[in-house]
Amino acid sequence: MPTNHAEFYRGAEAASGALAGRPTDPVAAATAVHTAAPSLFGSTPMAMRGDVACKAGCAHCCHFPVGITFPEAMRLAAAVRPDRVLGNSLRAAAAATATTPWSALVGLACPLLLATQCRVHGDRPLPCRALASSDANACAAARQGAALVPRDDEAYWRGLGASHALAGELGHRELRAALAAVLATAEGDDAGARAAFVAARRVP
């Protein structure tokens, strides 16, 4: 159980509220929770003070491994499918890191990143949405293991809670592996995609 119980449960409750009465379609579920995210993450003390250093073109956090939920994998797959080049790049990255230890993924650029821009920024998963820092230089140093990131802890724990609620019983899978697995299934085959997601690399 996380140390910041109150923020974790705040995030979980917000996500559960966004999901209440929604259809079981996974993309709709991810969209509902992501739509609630700005108010959830933008109301923290750090955000309210305007101390967040994150901005367009800052992509240090895009070099850390990410765990995603099944609804988010489906939403990302819908965004990636029209771009064959991006899809091929994602599959290649998943194959190249299939046996790479989780800790060794630190420093590797997310395959959805082009230079310093996320190519599916509007569909990015909750871990990406919840991460915020007050010092971009510290984030750059953290990629080399040389510094701790002064992150927005309230947003971080709220993100964990929201992600937990969205994940349900399926849990989380590593982004590259999960997205490649879902993309390998036929579009519209939610059952097949679900099975592929479950078989993908788990988050440790």
pLDDT band at 52 (very low <50, low <70, confident <90, very high): very high
User: For all residues of the chain together, what is the average pLDDT?
Assistant: 93
pLDDT at 139: 87
- Domain borders along the chain are 5-199
Q: Nearest Cα to 162, choosing from 39, 23, 22, 3?
A: 39
pLDDT of 177: 97
Strands (E), 51-177: 67-68, 113-114, 117-118, 173-174
Nearest to 58 by CA among 142, 166, 171: 142
Other CB atoms within 10 Å distance of the CB of residue 99: 8
Burial of 39-51, coded b for 16+ CB within 10 Å and e otherwise, reads: ebbeebebbeeee
Single-letter amino acid, residue 126: L
Does 99 or 22 have the greater pLDDT score?
99
Between 35 and 145, residue with greater pLDDT: 35
Q: Which residues contact 189 (CB under 8 A, 6 or more apart)?
A: none
pLDDT digits (tens, 9 = 90+) for 155-203: 999 999 999 999 999 999 999 999 999 999 999 999 999 999 999 999 9
23 vs 20 pLDDT, higher one? 20
- What pLDDT does residue 149 have? 84
Note the pLDDT of residue 74: 98
Q: What confidence score (pLDDT) does residue 1 get?
A: 46
Q: Which of 60-64, 67-71, 77-81, 139-143 has the lowest mean pLDDT?
A: 139-143
